[in-house]
Amino acid sequence: MNTANIIDGEASVTAVAHAAMARTPDPRLRQLVAAFVDHMHALIREVDLTEAEFDTVLKFVTDIGQQTNDVHNEVVLAADVLGISTLVALRNNPQNQGQSAAALLGPFWRAAAPLCANGDSIARGDTPGTPMHVYGQVRGVDGQPICGAKVDVWQASPAGLYENQDAQQPEMNLRGYFMTGEDGRYSFRTVRPAGYPVPTHGAVGVLLRLQERHCMRPAHVHFMVSHPRCKTLITQVFADDCDHLGSDVSFGVTKPLVGQFVRHAADPAAGAGEYYTLNYDFVLEPGESCFPEAPIK
């Protein structure tokens, strides 16, 4: 009888667990699981985790899974408010060639946004709000414009809700994608987004309340910029005048992603109302064009 892997007290658990997993064929999976076991076991020892606390952790993990569905992703939200999503994004997207900064995907991207012509509005129906014109150029790290880049955009409404959260908004409201021309330029019209609270009806909301943290994100527009010969860029551009810019509950704000939301005063003589403009360029690096799995449908 082989007794080498029988646990002999608390100190032997980690080594026995590693031995059981040592024959995992995939080397990367073996490395990841071994590191996960090491860090989790070390955490349990460091904080002297109680059984009651362990039950609470298991309940949290169970709850975020059960609260994820076709229109809401509590798992992604949990990763966001713990800073995990941003850390992964920054480590996998260094700006070492002058490429644009990446940001977390967030839980509200949908994969089937409609194609729009440059200059079109993504505000559908009678969406209220202050008009905003967004435009810019997509370039490579060599400084040359990229023709045929796909610029996928999505944002919350001035009420702070994405269309899948709000039955009053038209389907695919404030979503769309645009293709750049020979000059690499894109442009679209929209309404200025508002900052908003992340959903707090589930396990993540309970955690935020226990931590006495606010649940707000600063106003921003999401972008996913892609081209067949370039690495897909997932990012966000934040309003420079927005509250909570320095305390985003999802830790998504980095300095390069603060955009200039320029206010233009109304001109009654010309019959023009107040509006905003945002000019923001994107720089893509060479690489594989791949897309994430949509967190919602």
Closest by Cα among 135, 250, 153, 235 to 196: 250
My answer on whether 44 and 79 are in the same domain is: no
My answer on whether 271 and 154 are in the same domain is: yes
Listed as own residue / partner, the contacts of 182-185 with beta carbons closer than 8 Å and 24 or more positions apart are: 182/145, 182/147, 183/137, 183/145, 183/147, 184/137, 184/138, 184/139, 184/144, 184/145, 184/146, 184/147, 184/149, 185/118, 185/135, 185/136, 185/137, 185/138, 185/145
Asked whether residue 56 is domain-assigned, the answer is: no
Measured distance between the N- and C-terminal CA atoms of the chain, rounded to whole angstroms = 52
Asked whether residue 292 is domain-assigned, the answer is: no
Asked whether residue 69 is domain-assigned, the answer is: no
My answer on whether 134 and 271 are in the same domain is: yes
pLDDT of residue 266: 86
* Residues forming a β-bridge with 132: 190, 276
Asked whether residue 59 is domain-assigned, the answer is: no
* Amino acid letter for position 279: N
User: Which of 49, 64, 83 is the endpoint of a domain?
Assistant: 49
Give the count of domains, the chain: 2
My answer on whether 236 and 271 are in the same domain is: yes
pLDDT of residue 1: 61
pLDDT of residue 268: 81
My answer on whether 188 and 272 are in the same domain is: yes
My answer on whether 44 and 151 are in the same domain is: no
- The residue range of the domain holding 42 is 1-49
> CATH no. for residue 181?
2.60.130.10
**What pLDDT tens digit does each residue of the chain (297 aa) get?**
666 678 989 999 999 999 999 999 999 999 999 999 999 999 999 999 999 999 999 999 999 999 999 989 999 999 999 999 999 999 999 999 999 999 999 989 999 999 999 999 999 988 999 999 999 999 999 999 999 999 999 999 999 999 988 999 999 999 999 999 999 999 999 999 999 999 999 999 999 999 999 999 999 999 999 999 999 999 999 999 998 999 999 999 999 999 999 999 988 877 789 999 999 999 999 998 999 999 988
Residue 72 and residue 131: Cα distance in Å, rounded?
A: 28
Asked whether residue 111 is domain-assigned, the answer is: yes
Asked whether residue 290 is domain-assigned, the answer is: no
- Per DSSP, the three-state class of 147 is coil
Residue 220 and residue 207: Cα distance in Å, rounded?
A: 24
pLDDT of residue 3: 66
My answer on whether 125 and 238 are in the same domain is: yes
My answer on whether 240 and 129 are in the same domain is: yes
My answer on whether 41 and 145 are in the same domain is: no
Asked whether residue 58 is domain-assigned, the answer is: no
My answer on whether 165 and 41 are in the same domain is: no
My answer on whether 21 and 153 are in the same domain is: no
CA distances from 189 to 8, 65, 117, 128, 174 (A): 66, 37, 11, 13, 10
Asked whether residue 194 is domain-assigned, the answer is: yes
Residue 88 and residue 79: Cα distance in Å, rounded?
A: 10
CA distances from 201 to 68, 181, 208 (A): 12, 43, 11
Contact criterion met (CB below 8 Å) for 52 and 37? no
My answer on whether 260 and 130 are in the same domain is: yes
